[in-house]
Amino acid sequence: MKEKWYGIKQVSKCTGLTASALRYYDKLGLMPQLNRDKAGRRCFTQQDICWIQLICCLKNSKMPLQEIREFMQLCMKEDACEERKKILEKHKNFILKQIEQLQCSLCTIDYKLAHYKEVGVFYKQ
């Protein structure tokens, strides 16, 4: 069975990324296995789309593009499992710290809202 190929417009629609963002990520080397057709157009597979979803996950959780590129390049090496693991563990700890900071901010905002409700600033009846 032949593998299905997707064009950049289809992948853009599927991932929510613009075509220019996909081209930029390719140019940065974030998708090292991406193929092109005879006309030089990018041809995406389902596996490429999974990679893009991973890139989006890492980027949305504030991993710098340079680190994402390093991680993606390590994914191409079979003997780099430990290095990949270290990068992901470091990023996980970063995310957990972000969650903790956001939880603190949320508590402060909840406190202020309760206070404003108590003094009647926002909740006039």
* CA dist., res. 50 & res. 15, Å (int): 9
* CA dist., res. 23 & res. 29, Å (int): 10
pLDDT per residue as tens digits for the range 61-112 = 999 999 999 999 999 998 999 999 999 999 999 999 999 999 999 999 999 9
Nearest CA to 53 out of 82, 23, 11, 99 is that of 11
Global pTM?
0.84
